[in-house]
Structure 1
Amino acid sequence: MTLTADRINGLRDDVHEQGWTHLAGVGTLPDELLEVLRYLGEPRRGTFWAELQLVTYTGSSVERSVAESDHVLSPHTDGSFEPDPPELLLLQCLQPDLPGYGESRLVTVYDVVAALPAETTQLLREPRYHFFKHEKGKKAHAIGPVLWQLEDGRDAIRYRHDQKYQIVGDCEQTRAAIADLAAVVLGLEDTHPAPLAAGDVLVLDNRRCLHGRSALSGQVARQLRTA
């Protein structure tokens, strides 16, 4: 795939305006994903991150890994438990599931804020939530707000709350705010369907766009490469 100046600028504009963009026909090789990445920034490691990594359906149980199981993967941002979560996330489809299964689904922070009562939004902006991950013998923990504003005034979100990750409030009100947010995200998870063919890449602003997927068929080894 050749990334022309117009396509690069369009990619950046789309991510800036809506929080994500879908690139069709990029290819399935690591170098093809890195080519896209080079125009956007440099990969960096975190507590659990390699520069490139694979997410493959292995038939494992949810107790081992939600992403590797056939269960629904609820919309979330990546690295919620990191002190400094990644700003951009790239998902390159290597092998899709059967039609109708394992399809990516996106929810933007705009969708979330518009659906929440103002008082809940205000509670979620307080910098006293605990973000946990416990998996494969590793533990990580960060503290901060769920919602905040970027320097240009746009809303941002840090959110993952499922079988392996938890957000914990420090009092009854903040715990209720998390429960309300979880219900809103669940209700919005079909807002932006993004089915991926082999060779497609999703570029996500990890601060403004949650991503998830529908349940897997269990018959195909669906595989993504992430950066």
Structure 2
Amino acid sequence: MSDAPVISVRGEAVLEADPEIARLSVYVQSKEDDRRTALDQLVRRNQQCLDLVRSYGEAVERVETGALTITPVLKYRRREGDIAHYQGTAWIKVTVADLTVLGELVTRLGNLERTRVDGPEWALRRDSPVYAEAARQAVRQAVERARSYADALGCRLTGMVELSDEGLGHDGVEPLAAMPVAYAGAMNTPEEPEAISLEPSIQTVRAAVEARFTTTQPELA
């Protein structure tokens, strides 16, 4: 085992960046007295929503169906009884890559019949270069801190024993997805609504590492 002194340090970096994508949750609904009619209406409205989203081409990165339900709603809640109506819901998850069209898309979706829009949830992509840059800056800070300690002790770094990644994390910035930004009632207006103005939420990325370096013998006298 080496008798060389060891300096242990921690390096951290905090970066801010504009979001790269925005996620929307779109809920298409139907409510009819007859099960088949409720299902037919849901199918029609779901397709109308999908057609609108797909009309944006590459501006929309991903479209997924999260869930679909047709539920009988009873007239009496605490005992078996006649069915009051049938309610259908389709959940569509949308990832928007071109944020310049987001306000227009949200407004047009909200203008559809019986459609609810939740979002946007701002985010960076998982492979965003911002994470890699944060890691590099954390490592550089660890090296600089170790050199500073070595200089204070009158010695110099001779090697690295270990570099441990504490993990890259998202800062937990509150997304704007907690409340619906649009809800459409039973009727559509004949004209396209004015696009809502949306301000992106800045994303904060943190990276932290722990490092151990060997040094020459310190001059403590």
Q: TM bucket by the smaller chain? A: under 0.3
TM-score (norm 2): 0.23
More strand by share: 2
TM-score normalised over the length of structure 1? 0.22
